[in-house]
Amino acid sequence: METKNPTLIDQHVSSRLRWRREELELSQQDLADQLGVTFQQVQKYEKGANRISAGRLFELAKLLETRITYFYEGLEVVSAGARRGAAEEGSDYTGEVDQDAVDLLVAYQRIQDLDVRKSVLSTVRKHAREAKVLKAKARTKPRSSKS
């Protein structure tokens, strides 16, 4: 039997689930208890390892005091970025959001001071540009030939 890998949509919904849970300062165990599942199941939902059924998504929206559409918000931007990323040579965007990226976003959203937020964003962008330049240099570096 073929196992299905999570799609970009599955990954996005999973990330949004985690963001909302953390926004409400609920632990995975708290949410699991309310859903009647194990915290490992919630963990699998949040990692995108297990897909979330329509019925379960309805339950999650109710428990997390949000609309079902919340889980899909921003998907158009992510999808468009993935399509552009696939078309642009050298793009680093895979369409996947890893755990560190989610942690960074959650922490960033908690920063109240707008000047600090701008500074953090500027720093991250600077390092991303530097990494892109280094990656480009590594790709164009001529290989030495053995004599």
Kindly report the pTM of this predicted structure: 0.59
| Domain assignments of the chain as residue spans, ordered by start | 1-97, 98-140
**pLDDT given for residue 57 in this prediction:** 96
**pLDDT given for residue 142 in this prediction:** 62
CA distance 88 to 83: 9
**pLDDT given for residue 54 in this prediction:** 94
**pLDDT given for residue 135 in this prediction:** 82
**pLDDT given for residue 88 in this prediction:** 40
Residue 93 tokens, joined? 């965007």
CA distance 57 to 44: 14
**pLDDT given for residue 86 in this prediction:** 42
What kind of fold does domain 1-97 have according to CATH?
434 Repressor (Amino-terminal Domain) (1.10.260)
Considering only CA atoms, which of 22, 90, 21 is closest in space to residue 60?
21
Mean pLDDT by 10 residues, the chain (147 residues): 70 92 94 96 93 95 95 76 45 59 78 90 88 81 58
Residue-by-residue DSSP string for 17-33? HHHHHHHTT--HHHHHH
